[in-house]
Amino acid sequence: MQIRPYQPEDDPLLMQLERQCPRGFPNPFVHFRRRFIARAELYKESLTLVALDQGQIVGVSSIVLKDTFIGGIPVKVAYTFDSRVAPTHRRRGIGHTLVNEKLKWAVQRGAVGAYSLIIATNQASLGMVAKSGYKKVRLILYLEYTPYPILETPLYNAEFTDSPADHDLVDATFYPRDLYVPYVVDRVRDYDYQRWSIRDEQDNYAALSVYNQSHVFMQISADDPYPKTEAEINRLGRNLQIFDEVGMHNGKLMHALFQWLRDDAIVSNVNRLTWLVDRNDPVPHFILADASEQKDYWLLFKSFHDGWEPNWSERVYLDPRDL
């Protein structure tokens, strides 16, 4: 077996491997993307490794590095994802070897640990990472919403811009949270980024950002074939990922803003909107009630230093590039 870094010509075989590795139950899904490396390229520092057996790609795994905070302490951590092993080559240590190699890379670059997000129904993967020293930190909700028209005239009008407005408010909201990375907008700006905001007569304020995640990857049913032409890709629609929300304590105002966004999605070829929510967070009722689909993911963490475990804060920042 050979382990080497990703090469652009690997894409067709990596997408075949993706098709062989659906996740989730009872509705298995896979990731469709034009280029397998597109997810890793959302981050400044990344490594994607592939495993070959007799010249054929049989495994892949990716890792990225982030400068962030845990428990108020500045740290460099790794996020691991896109681990796949062909069914015909499992239980041979390929996945374990790929993971060890990418974690060595992270340690050499100063990371104190690594985290991963695994769907709660994937018991095989959860068991595998537990054996590797990962521990469950908290549950994350992956929520999906369908576009929906505004049926009643809202009290307030929403505004949107393609520039990162109110960044100071975003920092103030999320800076105390574990795993916060303030440069996300810079990485997704070229993917139809927009900042939506709304304000009432009492000067209460709510805002959120979105980017078109379907430019990078899309979750599609494991039973659906990959689209082959641009027309077929366009028919999948756009997937808008919501992030950097401020003003969640103004529940009615945030709901009004969200209604504007869903209404605009109807005429913008949007297939769905997605939102990551920490189960520890108090959120307005509509965020859960309006969701058309919900998936639970475990956030798991592995320390690279014997005897050291992070002192997790009450809340965590959910990077919109991760899921």
pLDDT digits 0-9 by tens, 171-208: 999 999 999 999 899 999 999 999 999 999 999 999 99
How much is the pLDDT for 322? 97
pLDDT confidence of residue 130: 87
Reference 265, options 299, 305, 238, 292; nearest CA is 238
Contact indicator for 10, 57 with CB cutoff of 8 Å: yes
Q: Is the pLDDT of residue 27 over 90?
A: no
- Grade residue 124 by pLDDT with cuts at 50, 70 and 90: confident
Give me the mean pLDDT over the 31-55 stretch.
Answer: 96
In this structure, of 49-53, 231-235, 269-273, the range with the lowest mean pLDDT score is 231-235
99-110: average pLDDT: 96
Residues 58-79 have a mean pLDDT of 97
Distances (CA, A) of 196 to 88, 157, 163, 245: 47, 11, 10, 9
Report if pTM > 0.85: yes
Whether residue 32 has pLDDT greater than 90: yes
Report the 10 Å Cβ neighbour count for 103.
Answer: 21
Cβ(280)–Cβ(138) under 8 Å? yes
Q: What is the mean pLDDT of the chain?
A: 94
% the chain with pLDDT above 70: 100
**Residue 98 confidence (pLDDT) above 90:** yes
Between 292 and 123, residue with greater pLDDT: 292
Query: Which domains occur in the chain, in start order?
Result: 2-139+297-303 (3.40.630.30), 143-296 (3.40.630.30)
Q: Residue 183 has what pLDDT?
A: 86
Q: Say if residue 94's pLDDT is above 90.
A: yes
Distance CA 193, CA 14 (A): 28
Q: Does pLDDT of 163 surpass 90?
A: no
Between residues 151 and 111, the one the model is more confident about: 111
Per-residue pLDDT, averaged over 53-62, amounts to: 95
Q: pLDDT value at position 128?
A: 81
Ramachandran region, residue 308 (left: φ > 0; alpha: ψ -120 to 50; beta: rest): beta
C-alpha to C-alpha distance for 249 and 172, rounded to whole angstroms: 14
Per-residue model confidence (pLDDT) at position 117: 97
State residue 125's pLDDT score: 84
pLDDT(226) > 90:
yes
